[in-house]
Amino acid sequence: MRITKFAIPEILFGRGSMAHVGACAAALGGETVFLVSDPGLAQAGWLDVVRGHLAQAGLTCVEFLQVQPNPRDCQVHAGAALYRESGADVIVAVGGGSPMDTAKGIGILVSNGGNIAEYEGANRVTHPLPPMLFMPTTAGSGSDLSQFAIITDVQRKLKMSLISRSLIPNISIIDPDFLQSAGRGLLVDSCIDALAHAVESFISTAASPFTETQARLALRLWNEHAERGCFAGEPAALEGLCLASAAASMSFSNASLGVGHALAHAFGGRFDMPHGGMHAILLPVVLRFNASHSPAKTAEILGLLFPDHSFAGPAAVEQGIALLYERFSTLGAPVRLGAVLPPQAKEQLPELCQAAVKDACMLTNPRPAGAEQLLEICQEAW
Ligand SMILES: [Fe+2]
């Protein structure tokens, strides 16, 4: 077996675990917290809860709450400027992938300087970041456990993948109660992202026994809890989805992803689309594209998602892909590119694929692919 590594933060998991945020931030040496979040979480009342726990531990708070979905480079720069003025000594991010990725970008700039675009790609961060504690409020992005940050370069209209061991926070507090206030659309969008993380990292060329174990767990839990979590909001199912997302994140953070995420980053940067929804469109086609290069794993993935069927052989894979489309449609997710993009976007596909081919996620896709193959995937998904 080749040498592998597996890195994750300290994890607190379970309903009510958010109450420990103050003690955990203090244990990281923090006295002044730099709180990163978004207006939706403030409105839902969650930030008041977090502020209360921080105050109880004797911590003061400086807040940066202007984070938008698909976080922009300019927001990261504004946040870093505020952090430098604030005298903060620990970063706490509360939210989905956007506040957490913004917090990582701020951490990079305050300890490494320069422009965030300088850190695009793998292993470009040289100096350690300030202590970071993340509290995910969706079950999908996995940014609270991962080495990835995805930031939109506004001028180039693309999403940059920043990958570094330094981007793993010190502590992740995963409290499924946060999901109680998430709407169905957000639950569906984020849990399909988690599924894509499990699938793409499972077939990644960098997968190892450590990551494969987590990916299998994620697929099994996703199958058990997706519908009951998204439609009924059952606390046990939401907890299962949080666990699925965490397992998928442990897998992708260490094994990376593939063509689906490379394309989703290109589309998200150009059209400002919700990230998770892109995978309902791309994942079935991505599975078909890679099936010839990872036949056993493709059959295993489909078997974990549809345990009543067997999926050996190309015809059975096609049947599994049809079932996957059906399942995404039942969850209410659009499954064709043409349903979410204007007709004129079709002309931009070749250019988008040229951008996607440079994404770091391309490096670990099991089947080698260039811009031409990515274009075929997009046309098939249209
Ligand atoms: Fe993702």
User: In this model, does residue 80 exceed pLDDT 90?
Assistant: yes
Query: What mean pLDDT do residues 36-46 have?
Result: 96
User: In this model, does residue 1 exceed pLDDT 80?
Assistant: no
- Break the chain down into helix, strand, coil percent, rounded to 5: 60, 10, 30
Contact 120, 162 (CB under 8 A): yes
DSSP 139-181: SS--TTT-SEEEEEETTTTEEEEEE-GGGS-SEEEE-GGGGGG
Provide the residue count of the chain: 382
Measured in Å, residue 119 CA sits from the centre of ligand 1 at 19
Measured in Å, residue 364 CA sits from the centre of ligand 1 at 15
Contact 162, 152 (CB under 8 A): no
Measured in Å, residue 201 CA sits from the centre of ligand 1 at 11
Query: What mean pLDDT do residues 41-59 have?
Result: 97
CA 377 – CA 285 distance, rounded (Å)? 6
Query: What mean pLDDT do residues 69-92 have?
Result: 96
Which pTM value belongs to this model?
Answer: 0.96
Measured in Å, residue 358 CA sits from the centre of ligand 1 at 17
Query: What mean pLDDT do residues 93-119 have?
Result: 97
Measured in Å, residue 266 CA sits from the centre of ligand 1 at 12
Give the pLDDT confidence score for residue 382 in this predicted structure. 96
List the structure tokens of 66: 């202007």
- Architecture category of domain 10-178 in CATH: 3-Layer(aba) Sandwich (3.40)
Q: Which residues surround ligand 1, an ion (CB under 5 A)?
A: 193
CATH of domain 183-381: 1.20.1090.10
Give the pLDDT confidence score for residue 16 in this predicted structure. 97
pLDDT digits (tens, 9 = 90+) for 296-335: 999 999 999 999 998 888 899 999 999 999 999 999 999 9
pLDDT digits (tens, 9 = 90+) for 124-142: 999 999 999 999 999 999 9
**Domain 10-178 identical in fold to domain 183-381:** no
CA 250 – CA 273 distance, rounded (Å)? 25
Q: Angle CA(82)–CA(84)–CA(90) in degrees, nearest 5?
A: 95
Edge-to-edge order in the sheet of strand 121-122: 121-122, 158-163, 148-153
Give the pLDDT confidence score for residue 142 in this predicted structure. 95
Measured in Å, residue 194 CA sits from the centre of ligand 1 at 7
Contact 287, 317 (CB under 8 A): yes
User: In this model, does residue 35 exceed pLDDT 80?
Assistant: yes
Give the pLDDT confidence score for residue 364 in this predicted structure. 96
Q: Which residues contact 250 (CB under 8 A, 6 or more apart)?
A: 6, 8, 145, 211, 214
Give the pLDDT confidence score for residue 365 in this predicted structure. 98
User: In this model, does residue 259 exceed pLDDT 80?
Assistant: yes
User: In this model, does residue 2 exceed pLDDT 90?
Assistant: no
Give the pLDDT confidence score for residue 94 in this predicted structure. 98
Give the pLDDT confidence score for residue 313 in this predicted structure. 80
Measured in Å, residue 103 CA sits from the centre of ligand 1 at 17
- Where exactly are the structural domains of the chain? 10-178, 183-381
